[in-house]
């Protein structure tokens, strides 16, 4: 049996799980939003999606602060290559 002081779900695993949940929610809200016909439902889901994005950014920032989600800086050449590839795919 776990004692109150025993941490069986470490902080890193908890926050990683929270980030995954926020990503899951955002994906679902977006899908539901795209299928909604009622303006009221669209407004509600848009608000929920915005809140979820805000929470995801907060969780992501906390993970970065703790060194649990490293994001290396992209090389300028790779960024420019991706921009050109995207622009070509949309016809610009």
Q: What is the mean pLDDT of the chain?
A: 91
- Residue 7, classified by CB atoms within 10 Å of its CB into exposed (0-12), middle (13-18) or buried (19+), is exposed
Residue 7, pLDDT above cutoff 90: no
Out of 2-16, 30-44, 46-60, 68-82, least confident range: 2-16
Q: What is the pLDDT of residue 4?
A: 61
Q: Output the pTM of the full model.
A: 0.71
Asked whether the beta carbons of 52 and 22 are under 8 A apart, the reply is: yes
Which among 58, 74, 54 has a CA at the least distance from the CA of 66?
58
- DSSP code at position 9: S
Average pLDDT over residues 33-47: 96
């Amino acid at each position: 049996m776990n004692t109150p002081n025993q941490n069986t779900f470490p902080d890193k695993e908890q926050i990683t799980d929270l980030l995954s949940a926020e990503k899951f929610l955002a994906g679902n809200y977006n899908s539901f939003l795209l299928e909604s016909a009622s303006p009221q439902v669209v407004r509600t889901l848009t608000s929920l999606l915005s809140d979820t994005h805000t929470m995801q950014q907060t969780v992501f920032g906390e993970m970065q602060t703790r060194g649990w989600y490293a994001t290396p800086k992209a090389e300028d050449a790779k960024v420019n290559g991706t921009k050109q590839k995207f622009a070509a795919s949309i016809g610009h």
